[in-house]
Structure 1
């Protein structure tokens, strides 16, 4: 899984952290959690604020 797979990342985060409110997750934690996902395999340098915002929004949409 790569940084560009925002929707899949959001689904996996929602499954892994069902009790977590994605609106309260800071970007440092979010980045670390994404990189810790078992299927994730991408360079941390390819991640930026826009990518993290997109992942966070997709996660919010997923649990809404």
Structure 2
């Protein structure tokens, strides 16, 4: 997975952190959790706030 795989990342985060409310996750934690996903191969330097916002929103949508 890369940073552009927003929906796949959101699904993986939802499964990895089922008890977490994605609305309250700080971007620093979100970025680290994404990079810690087993299938994630993205470059940490390629991540920006807009990407994290998109991932967080997709995770919120997945959780609802």
TM-score range normalised by the length of the shorter chain: over 0.9
Q: CA RMSD in A?
A: 0.3
- TM-score, normalised with respect to structure 1: 0.99
Structure 2 alignment gaps of length 5 or more: none
Structure 1 ranges of 4+ moved more than 2 A: none
Task: Please name the residue that 1:42 is paired with.
Answer: 42
Tell me if 1:60 matches 2:60.
yes
Structure 1 unaligned regions, length at least 5: none
TM-score (norm 2): 0.99
Q: CA deviation digits over 1:14-33, x for unaligned, max 9?
A: 00000000000000000000
Q: How far does residue 56 in structure 1 lie from its aligned partner after superposition?
A: 0.1
> Does residue 1:13 correspond to 2:13, yes or no?
yes
